[in-house]
Amino acid sequence: MSIKIISDSACDLPDEIIAEYDIEIVPFHVLLDGVDYLDRVTIQPQELYQRMRAGAMPKTSQITPMQFIEVFGKYVAAGLQCIYIAFSSKLSGTCEMARLAAQHVKDEFPGCEIAIIDSQCGALAQGLAVYNAAKMAREGKSLQEIVAAITLQYRHTEHIFSVDDLEYLYRGGRVSRISSFVGGLLNVKPILHVKEGCMIPLEKVRGKAKAIRRIVQLMSERGANLQEQLVAINHADDLVSALKLKELIEELFATSNFIINTVGCVLGSHIGIGGVAAFFLNKEYYQQKGATLGVPN
């Protein structure tokens, strides 16, 4: 039985990968100047950032159960198994909406298979999981094999990122008004990561260039086999910084396998303009994978 890979617009995968692997992307809602847009359907990230630069303050809302019921129902009725890889449940209630919708569809189609994976990720960390799932589905792997592989992957995917303007984190309740103001004056750039699905501050550095170098240093400390990995880089309308980060990663780890894409409307609305991030597998991933395969660490 064929498997349909489904995700949401928080995964930030490039359009060409989505098209090549026929991945279904369910859009989040973006509220901007009183209009409800669908992320990457009726509004694109470039327009969002342009309007943010002009002073707009976007908000996002989660995907509705009805959106999921329509998507799951369509593929189940066609005889397909479904795997939905969700934006972190610690950052959105959308994963729970998907579970409710999946149960509704299962009641209507007894015996159908719909697996819901809380990726505990966002942006291209989530995208890497979706991409791997799509490749495995094309290779004919079973639903159980894909779920097991993606679960191992998301648990050991590092998110190391910096944001350009602390004001957006302040508005989201991540930093105090004083630290936001002082940070802006001193050109302080926070370095953050994601742990168990939540954004956690790591440290602060002075200036964008130092922040990019520090991201690469943390990759060296936490990652393994980086020369063999597919490394993902996201940027919030700052391609120059993304390419600088790519250059440093290439120099240090001798890798040339990258996905680079703009942060979409979901996270872009909350982290602001100018952020840059790297996503990669950590040392524990290879230890766990080796243990599963019976290979000594």
Is 144 found in the same domain as 241?
Answer: no
19 inside domain: yes
Range of the domain at 70: 3-28+63-155
Is 150 found in the same domain as 21?
Answer: yes
Is 203 found in the same domain as 165?
Answer: yes
Name residue 275's beta-bridge partners.
Answer: none
Residue 182 has pLDDT above 90, yes or no: no
pLDDT at 177: 47
Token pair for 66: 């009805």
Q: CATH number of the domain that 258 lies in?
A: 3.30.1180.10
* Mean of all residue pLDDT scores within the chain: 91
145 phi, psi to nearest 5 deg: -65, -40
Residue 251 has pLDDT above 90, yes or no: yes
Exposure b/e, 195-204, CB count within 10 A at least 16 = b:
eebebeeeeb
Is 258 found in the same domain as 225?
Answer: yes
48 inside domain: no
233 inside domain: yes
If we measure between CA atoms, which residue out of 3, 21, 210, 28 comes closest to residue 115? Answer: 3
Is 254 found in the same domain as 118?
Answer: no
Cα Rg of the chain (Å, integer): 19
- Whole-angstrom Cα distance, residue 277 to residue 262? 10
In degrees, to the nearest 5, what angle opens at C-alpha 84 toward C-alphas 234 and 223? Answer: 40
pLDDT at 166: 65
DSSP one-letter code for 193: E
User: Bigger pLDDT: 102 or 297?
Assistant: 102
Q: pTM of the full predicted structure?
A: 0.92
Residue pLDDT, tens place only, 77-113: 999 999 999 999 988 999 999 999 999 999 999 999 9
Rounded to an integer, the average pLDDT of 175-190 is 60
Residue 18 has pLDDT above 80, yes or no: yes
Rounded to an integer, the average pLDDT of 168-176 is 58
Name residue 84's beta-bridge partners.
Answer: 6, 116
189 inside domain: yes
